[in-house]
Amino acid sequence: MAVGVFGSYGRGDAAVGSDLDLLLIDRQGMGTQSQRLLLWPFEELTLACDALILTPKEFQALLEPASGAPGRMAQALLKDLLWIWRGPG
């Protein structure tokens, strides 16, 4: 559904040696993060990549947790996330 970058690429201060932090919103996401990562060819990228693959519901829960206060990951995403692709719907 959507692909975003965060971290140094999201902030625009990436340099030589920076890894690519990706967020993928996948409506069909099932299984653990490890299982989801196996479905995407990240090894074909020409730089190191860390990816987080979430369903829309998981993404919403991360940004607006039931406890009220967003955690560190949510704060980083709210600050640095830059959407680079959004599909229809």
Domains in the chain with CATH codes: 2-86 (3.30.460.10)
More confident residue, 70 or 3: 3
> Helix, strand or coil for residue 35?
helix
Average pLDDT value for residue range 16-28: 95
> What's residue 48's pLDDT?
95
Class of residue 31 by CB neighbours under 10 A (exposed 0-12, middle 13-18, buried 19+): exposed
List, for residues 28-83, the tens digit of each pLDDT value.
999 999 999 999 999 999 999 999 999 999 999 999 888 888 889 999 998 999 99
What pLDDT shows up at residue 44? Answer: 95
